[in-house]
Amino acid sequence: MRTFRPIITIGFILLVLLIPISGHAESAKTYEVSTGVLNVRSEPSLNANTLGILTKGNQVQVFQEQYGWVQTYYQGKEAWIAKHHLIPLDESQVSQVKQATVLSIETITITADGVNIRSGPGEEYPVIGSASSGKTYELIHTEGSWHKVSLKGGKTGWVASKLTNKNAVNNSGNSEKPKVNAKTLSPTKQSGSLSDRHIVLDPGHGGRDPGAIGLGGIYEKSLTPPIANRVADRLRNAGANVTITREGDYYVSLEQRAAISNSHDTDAFISLHFNAYPILSAQGISTFYYSRPGQQLAKSVQASLYSNVTLYNRGIKREDYHVLRNTAAPAILIELGFITNPHDLNIIQTVDYEQQVAEAITSGLIDYFK
Ligand SMILES: [Zn+2]
């Protein structure tokens, strides 16, 4: 099945639903821009500085109104818009438009000539076609070292991932996505560095437990599995055995998560989460541990995250979390950025970020086991 992951380009499309901030949210209303271009200003005055523009169809969450102006947040700051060109939306319209939020499609590009396209993820599957260098396909799914791609006429096929490069294409038409600092990462093959290691990855929340709710109404539970899968791919490339505690949108209790880890001869348990806070400016990555071995692991991984990713480094901290206390293996819980911070949220949802995190966790583990 195709899995598109919505990328919310805050800054252009506005904050559709803001996390409750000091109780204002219940009274917040959603408006849609009815005119071609509308200025967003720092104060409720035509003489105030322009912070940005909105275009027809953009939605705005309004927290207060005065003298023909409405107050919202723009790129994390208080902002004002003239009410004249805004149409109020009711609940059903809001969710409809939310469905139409910008999508991001992952693609891969073939890096060699005459690459076989097969009917399944392995050399043993029949060849159903061939691809030349430079050809780009939509990526549907990755399994081990094979990519499932979409072919003409609704067909699908498999190509060996080592003969491809992965790209992210943003088809929003808005190019306002902050660029993730493209620190060059070492090539993704370091075969054997984690061989014989068993790593348990624990994507936080799921099912009836949404976790934190971020800007645009995004759920933490829907962000943790994609990044866990990316980390799992990278760890497997490095030779590790990987178990993931949750592989879909269903509820797994904290006891079950610890039990899954304890039922294997686990070398490291890594719980993946995203943070939230009522103050928009809170940002960055933190790693938590409970035991002494967990502290060593936290040090290695946080240091590696610090040198591989661009988000603010909040450091490591001891916390008495259930999954950290009840796992026999060295365990850490990483909060991979704030989904209530526009800057963090924009970066978190990029493939670049997922890859940087995957690389960082892998080299942090290699470091730890040395
Ligand atoms: Zn969480």
Q: pLDDT tens digits for 216-245?
A: 889 999 999 999 999 999 999 999 999 999
Same domain, 187 and 310: yes
Q: Give me the mean pLDDT over the 336-365 stretch.
A: 95
Looking up residue 255, the CATH number of its domain turns out to be: 3.40.630.40
Model pLDDT, residue 153: 57
Give the range of the structural domain holding residue 146, as residue numbers without chain letter. 103-169
The whole-angstrom separation of Cα 230 and Cα 354 is 6
Same domain, 117 and 219: no
Whether 1 maps to a domain, the answer reads no
Q: Are 71 and 55 in contact (CB under 8 A)?
A: no
Q: Is 335 a catalytic residue?
A: yes
Who surrounds ion ligand 1 at CB < 5 A? 204, 211, 273
CA of 205 to the centre of ligand 1 (A): 6
Same domain, 324 and 346: yes
The domain boundary, picked from 141, 169, 197, lies at 169
Q: Are 316 and 302 in contact (CB under 8 A)?
A: yes
Confidence band (pLDDT; 50, 70, 90) for 177?
A: very low
Task: Give how many domains the chain has, as a whole number.
Answer: 3
Q: Are 264 and 243 in contact (CB under 8 A)?
A: yes
The whole-angstrom separation of Cα 111 and Cα 114 is 10
Q: Is the pLDDT of residue 97 over 80?
A: no
Q: Within 10 Å of residue 254's Cβ, how many Cβ atoms?
A: 16
3-state secondary structure of 203: strand
Q: Give me the mean pLDDT over the 158-172 stretch.
A: 73
CA of 204 to the centre of ligand 1 (A): 5
Same domain, 220 and 315: yes
Same domain, 240 and 161: no
CA of 333 to the centre of ligand 1 (A): 9
Q: Active site residue: 106, 220, 335, 354, which one?
A: 335
Whether 319 maps to a domain, the answer reads yes
Model pLDDT, residue 38: 77
CA of 275 to the centre of ligand 1 (A): 6
The domain boundary, picked from 169, 191, 219, lies at 169
Looking up residue 72, the CATH number of its domain turns out to be: 2.30.30.40
Q: Give me the mean pLDDT over the 20-38 stretch.
A: 59
Q: Is the pLDDT of residue 118 over 60?
A: yes
CA of 338 to the centre of ligand 1 (A): 10
Q: Dihedral (C-alpha) 14, 17, 23, 26: value to the nearest 10 degrees?
A: 120
